[in-house]
Amino acid sequence: MENLAAFTERNISNHSTFNAWIYDSNLNYKTLDIAEKLNSPRLSQLIDSNLHLIIENIIENKFFIIFSELSIVTEIIFNNNQVIEIK
């Protein structure tokens, strides 16, 4: 688990290397398009909207869940398309 502000500072500034999906409270999701991913204020606004975001760091091949309302980020580790660890 990591503080959201620290994660954002370290990772989101390089958002061109990320895929991202947002989930609402009904677990409906939407893939962010490239314009949204490259627009840091828009991504910050989504984080501030208490939506759940799934972020994939393409270069490091890591996935993260952002829980905006708790201001935390957790890393998800997959193996054969199954979650094996949540950090």
Domain spans of the chain? 2-86
Question: Do the Cβ atoms of 18 and 55 come closer than 8 Å?
Answer: yes
pLDDT digits (tens, 9 = 90+) for 54-68: 887 777 788 888 887
pLDDT digits (tens, 9 = 90+) for 19-73: 778 877 777 888 877 655 655 666 667 777 766 788 877 777 888 888 877 788 8
Distance CA 55, CA 78 (A): 14
DSSP assignment, residue 61?
Answer: T
